[in-house]
Homo-oligomer: A and B are copies of this chain.
Amino acid sequence: QSTVQLYGLVDLSAGRYQDPGAKSMTKMQPGGMTTSYWGLRGKEDLGGGLSAVFAAEGFFLADTGASGRFNGDAFFARNAYVGLSSASLGTVQLGRNTTLLFVSTIVYNAFGDSYTFSPTVRHVFLPSAITAPVTGDSGWSDSVLYTSPKLGGFKASVLAAAGEKVGHRNVSAGLNYDVGNFSAVAVYQDVEKDISTALKVDDTRTWQLGATYDFGVVKVFAQHTQVENRSVAGSPKSKLSDVSAAIPLGNGKVLAAYGLLNRPGSADQKTFSLGYDYFLSKRTDVYVAAMSDKDEAKATYTTAKSYGVGIRHRF
């Protein structure tokens, strides 16, 4: 009992929000910077460098108090795993694991995991905003995740999810490299199992490269993603690019990001975000951000404009 941790994050913003092709709305927006969640986790020392690990984490929407990210989302959809971790051999986690692609997408851009303001998170993961989405959600059920120990700055990961007659299995592999102020990642994933009805394709192969360098006066991020939609003839490939920066200023950071979604056979989506994130403490920050989201494939409201102020608290 003494070993279990109870933790989470609450993030709420208010402002004017708009998606391309739709009218704007003045509203309270949950998760302006990070989707709110709470969870239980623990690590038990088994001796000899071995530990047992577990986590059960669920999302919630702090504007209404609803659990999950959407109606019907699993209660512990963020993570639900149990596994063994060895200092020398790496970690194995069984259950529902966050995907390597989601982690690389959010780590290698200045707006992190913001579905509201991060161009790359919106382009890669937001089903309603794009026509060539990555399939398979940001977490995979029925999966096994292996993460190697760090070796000379390198860390490798493999994730596989059983098909279980919903479809075929999913597989993913990633390589991280960290040295000094530089960090880079390469991730591949093949999704052939997707139970989401909100997404239009169910067989995608995705590559992503990301890198970041911290110059001190500015931390720069870049990532490039290619999504091959193998469920339609010709297997068209979407190309997604994102550059961003975080510039320390006072107790906070100026955040800027530009993302380009190049769709095969259709017009581009070009998204630019600018914000300032001020830290009241390590655990609590307030932020203001604005985004211009131009989808040239839309007939009306081509350029959506959003802006909001919010507060994020970790517990």
Which positions in A face B, CB cutoff 8 Å?
1, 3-8, 10-12, 14, 25-28, 38, 40, 42, 44, 46, 50, 52, 54, 56, 58, 60-67, 74-84, 94-96, 139, 141-144, 162, 164-165, 280-281, 283-284, 310-313, 315
Contacts and interface: CB of A to CB of B under 8 A. Distances in A.
B3 A315 contact: yes
B12 A141 contact: no
A311 B83 contact: yes
B162 A28 contact: yes
15 contacts: A4-B6, A8-B56, A10-B54, A12-B82, A14-B144, A27-B142, A44-B283, A46-B284, A52-B284, A52-B313, A54-B315, A56-B60, A60-B75, A62-B95, A67-B74
Contacts of A280: 46, 50, 52, 84
A77 B64 CA distance: 7
Nearest to A51: B284
The residue among A76, A283, A312, A315 with the most chain B CB atoms within 10 A of its own CB is A315
A250 to B, nearest CB: 15
Nearest to A95: B62
Contacts of A84: 280, 311
A4 B315 contact: yes
A44 B74 contact: no
B7 A1 contact: yes
A56 B284 contact: no
Nearest to A13: B94
Given A44-B281, A144-B14, A82 B62 contact: yes
Nearest to A55: B10
B94 A52 contact: no
A151 to B, nearest CB: 25
The residue among A38, A76, A80, A139 with the most chain B CB atoms within 10 A of its own CB is A80
A44 B284 CA distance: 8
Contacts of A52: 280-281, 283-284, 311, 313
A5 B5 CA distance: 12
